[in-house]
């Protein structure tokens, strides 16, 4: 997983040199990010249904009392959200999505290590790759607004996520990760839609 994270850091560093410039270019970039975010959201929603069927044994399973403290929260005061600066809004998403990406990638690696091939591997891998692309887009947008590339967050996943003690706990972790990612992506789409309209030609 560390090799994959290193690849992500290298990817966003390279893409920083190709950051969009000017209101028109930013509008196009934000439009692309809205489209990609909606795709990821749909893919995550589809995965959750399949995941609950395969891992939990109940496609209707819901439990919002289950939490992972290592995951970012999608909750934000609306007044604060309106007052955020553009760069601040993008940087928050940039940092938080990298944390989500690390969790998703960890679950993908876990699925690869299962003795029986999982029907979930391809879906999780696709979401991981799309998240990496979205993070790269955010890197370019932040660079365009601030003229500097943001530093990757200094994040270490807790041991109970990297090496869950029980298989059932690992399954519940996956549910929580994808459930919270789905919630967070709705906020991301709202942010990109706001910025796309703001930088319209």
Instruction: Kindly report, residue by residue over 43-52, the tens digit of the pLDDT.
Output: 999 999 999 9
Fold adopted by 24-59+87-198: Growth Hormone; Chain: A; (1.20.1250)
Per-residue model confidence (pLDDT) at position 13: 44
pLDDT given at position 6: 46
Average pLDDT over residues 66-87: 90
Please tell me whether the overall predicted TM-score, pTM, comes out greater than 0.75 for this model.
yes
Q: What is the pLDDT of residues 98-140, one digit of tens each?
A: 999 999 999 999 888 876 667 899 999 999 999 999 999 999 9
The domain limits of the chain are: 24-59+87-198
Tens of pLDDT, residue by residue over 137-168, are 999 999 999 878 888 778 888 888 888 888 89
DSSP track, the chain: -HHHHHHHHHHHHHHHTT---HHHHHHHHHHHHHHHHHHHHHHHHHHHHHHIIIIIS-TT---TT---TTSPP----HHHHHH--HHHHHHHHHHHHHHHHHHHHHHHHHHHTSSS--TTHHHHHHHHHHHHHHHHHHHHHHHHHHSSPPPPP-----HHHHS-SSHHHHHHHHHHHHHHHHHHHHHHHHHHHHHHHHT--
What are 10-60's pLDDT values in tens digits? 444 444 445 675 666 999 999 999 999 999 999 999 999 999 999 999 999
- pLDDT tops 70 at residue 188: yes
């Amino acid at each position: 997983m560390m090799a994959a994270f290193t690849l992500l850091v290298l990817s966003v560093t390279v893409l920083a040199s190709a950051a969009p410039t000017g209101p028109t270019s930013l509008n196009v970039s934000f439009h692309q990010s809205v489209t990609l975010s909606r795709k990821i959201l749909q893919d995550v929603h589809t995965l959750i249904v399949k995941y609950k069927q395969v891992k939990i044994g109940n496609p209707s399973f819901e439990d919002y009392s289950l939490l992972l403290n290592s995951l970012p929260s999608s909750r934000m005061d609306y007044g604060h959200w309106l007052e955020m600066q553009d760069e601040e809004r993008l940087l928050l998403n940039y940092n938080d999505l990298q944390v989500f990406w690390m969790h998703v990638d960890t679950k993908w690696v876990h699925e690869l290590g299962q003795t029986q091939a999982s029907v979930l591997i391809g879906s999780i891998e696709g979401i991981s790759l799309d998240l990496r692309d979205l993070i790269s887009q955010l890197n370019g947008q932040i660079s365009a607004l601030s003229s500097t590339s943001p530093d990757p967050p200094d994040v270490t996943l807790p041991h109970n996520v990297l090496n869950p003690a029980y298989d059932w706990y690992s399954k519940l972790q996956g549910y929580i990760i994808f459930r919270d990612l789905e919630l967070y992506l709705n906020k991301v789409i709202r942010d990109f839609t706001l910025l796309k309209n703001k930088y319209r030609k």
